[in-house]
A = this chain, B = another copy of it.
């Protein structure tokens, strides 16, 4: 079958790879009908996240079940499904507490040996372990483009908001309006944030955030701190979501947030950096971190997308054929697209 494989930094290839086979009684095989390109794929593309040449990439996907292991009962051949970007065992210490994202034996699609040697989903088919936990049936009437987001980007936006403890009526700020930040804006509004201050320096992203109900503020040409004060009688925002993953974003988040508030860093941090701990301490802030518990949230996200409360449709800027993946990655790398959907 055809699949997008990593070759070297800056180089992906569409090539023939073996079709997946059921290896475990809880596996399913999905015929992929749409697969997204995600910011994490760019880390691989740039060589910052290292994987084996020839490994199939991609981890956002919808499709149709074409085979199941003997212990898959809740799903069957022919079911139209979306999947989460990672798997979980369902019974370790962390899974028992519902922290599926930190499962001791989790595997991530399309990230090579380092994250469990699970072939990616930018392919004609994908093997999905522990299918009953990782896959969900797509609600009637939901498009591929919408469903695709439940298992990764929208799940991440939802997590950022819900895990922050935002209460209905609160004022939130979202720093960084890539797909995750924009989904966080939508989620914050949908769960009752009375105002969302959306900060970025790309005009189109600010406009899209505004169309999702946010107050757009340009990072350098606007005044994020002034906007936060104005929206809160000078107190600062109740919750600030750092969807960037950069010390400067974190510093701004610590500045924007009111005493006893929460800073949620959904953006990726990989190293040591300078943090204004004095500010964290004097304001009695709570700093939450880590990637999203998508498996834990996917039912709720699907329900809210099905009702239209969350709608990622505007984020999909490009549809391309699977065979056009090399061009798609170049386009995405030039930041000329928000979300590219590949179709085999």
Q: Flag whether A201 is at the interface (Cβ < 8 A).
A: no
A59 vs B306: C-alpha distance when bound (angstroms): 40
A97 vs B276: C-alpha distance when bound (angstroms): 26
Q: Flag whether A278 is at the interface (Cβ < 8 A).
A: yes
Per DSSP, chain A at the interface is mixed
Q: Flag whether A248 is at the interface (Cβ < 8 A).
A: no
Complex contact A259–B194 (CB within 8 A)? no
Complex contact A133–B91 (CB within 8 A)? yes
Q: Flag whether A320 is at the interface (Cβ < 8 A).
A: no
Q: Flag whether A275 is at the interface (Cβ < 8 A).
A: yes
Q: Flag whether A195 is at the interface (Cβ < 8 A).
A: yes
Q: Which of A5-13, A40-48, A296-304 contacts B (4 or more CB under 8 A)?
A: A296-304
Shortest CB distance A109–B (Å): 18
- Contact among B98, B274, B287, B306 for A98, CB-based, below 8 A: B98
* Residue numbers in B under 8 Å from A275 (CB-CB): 272-275, 277
Residue of B nearest to A277 (CB): B269
* Copies of this subunit: 4
Q: Flag whether A321 is at the interface (Cβ < 8 A).
A: no
Shortest CB distance A31–B (Å): 23
Interface residues of A in 271-299 (CB under 8 A from B): 271-278, 280-291, 295-297, 299
Q: Flag whether A167 is at the interface (Cβ < 8 A).
A: yes
Complex contact B192–A192 (CB within 8 A)? yes
Interface residues of A in 121-160 (CB under 8 A from B): 130, 132-133, 158
* Residue numbers in B under 8 Å from A235 (CB-CB): 93
Residue of B nearest to A299 (CB): B169
Residue of B nearest to A97 (CB): B98
Q: Flag whether A268 is at the interface (Cβ < 8 A).
A: yes
Residue of B nearest to A101 (CB): B284
* Residue numbers in B under 8 Å from A158 (CB-CB): 168-169
A326 vs B22: C-alpha distance when bound (angstroms): 51
Q: A96-B295, A168-B191 are in contact. List 5 more A-B contacts (CB 8 A).
A: A101-B284, A250-B277, A271-B278, A275-B275, A286-B288
| Residue ranges of A at the interface with B (Cβ–Cβ < 8 Å) | 25, 71, 90-91, 93-99, 101-102, 130, 132-133, 158, 161-162, 167-171, 187, 190-192, 194-195, 233, 235, 245, 247, 250, 259-260, 265, 268-278, 280-291, 295-297, 299-304, 306-307, 309
* 13 A-B contact pairs sorted by A residue (CB < 8 Å): A91-B130, A93-B299, A96-B98, A96-B295, A194-B303, A269-B281, A270-B282, A272-B274, A272-B275, A281-B290, A281-B291, A282-B290, A283-B290
